[in-house]
Amino acid sequence: MIKEKAEREALISDNIGLVHACANKFRGKGAEYDDLFQAGCVGLIKAADGFKPELGFAFSTYAVPVILGEIKRIFRDSGSVKVGRALKEKARFAIQQRDRMVVQLGREPTISELAQRLELDISETAELLIVAMPTVSLTQHDDDENSKQIEIPTQSVEDEVAEKIALSQVIEDLPELDKQIIKLRYFQGLTQTVTAEKLNMSQVQVSRKERAILKELRSRLC
């Protein structure tokens, strides 16, 4: 029992980086990083408790979706995206300055003018104005007072993050030569010919090796 507890604690401590990796992907999405990290830690603990190594999966492959599921709760539980206190205060100050400029200029200031007043760049100023906008209800009401949910198609951020993290983990588990080929070809964008020169191989060898590696990656990720 003591051994099992020690193994569980080691599994958690050794994989805390997965929590940071997942939480970092949601920075700037409207929640404080501490909240994201705390939720991710809950997911990591749940993953450690539910992980079954006999199934043959790497722990990270099992844990990432669980961690992301807990982080997603932060946004789902309130029914809307939470905005951090610090960001709300900045947005409130930006609106105050905008209102003052309306009085001074006799018109609505441009984002560029407001950005200069706030000593911020235009993109950050635009973000603050968006934060200050009232929340839009996702429920429509027709003339008969019937309500229906507005469906907004969105890409699943958590699925995308999970895929990227899982892919990164699988690549790191490759033999060194295979890892180099993938990094040169797909991360640095080099041609097979240039990759072959760098690795002292022929272009044909790189081509064959690359096909085999991609097939292996697909089998591990499916």
- Classify residue 108: in a domain, yes or no: yes
Neighbours of 40 (CB within 10 A): 28
120 belongs to a structural domain: yes
Residue 166 lies in a domain: no
Per-residue confidence (pLDDT) for residue 201, from 0 to 100:
92
* Start-to-end Cα distance in the chain: 34
pLDDT at 143: 52
Distance, CA of 78 to chain centre: 19
Q: Are the beta carbons of 58 and 169 closer than 8 angstroms?
A: yes
Query: Which span out of 6-10, 22-26, 56-60, 202-206 was modeled with the highest average pLDDT?
Result: 202-206
C-alpha 139/C-alpha 76 separation (Å) is 16
pLDDT for 160-198, tens place per residue?
A: 555 666 667 777 788 899 989 988 887 777 888 888 999
Write the DSSP string, 183-199: IIIIIS---HHHHHHHT
Q: What's this model's pTM, rounded to 2 decimal places?
A: 0.40
Is the pLDDT at 117 greater than 60? The verdict is: yes
- Which of 5-19, 28-42, 118-132, 190-204 is most confident? 190-204
Give the span between the Cα atoms of 159 and 152, in whole angstroms: 17
What CATH number did the domain enclosing 99 receive?
Answer: 1.10.10
Closest CA to 70 of 19, 14, 9: 19
Is residue 104 domain-shared with residue 67, that is, in the same domain?
no
- For the chain, what is the domain count? 3
- pLDDT at position 149 is 46
- Tell me the residue range of the domain where 205 lies: 174-221
pLDDT at 33: 82
Domain co-membership, 28 together with 47:
yes
Shared-domain flag, residues 60 and 118: no
Do 55 and 114 fall into the same domain?
Answer: no
Asked if residue 17 belongs to a domain, the reply is: yes
The mean pLDDT of 59-85, rounded to a whole number, is 72
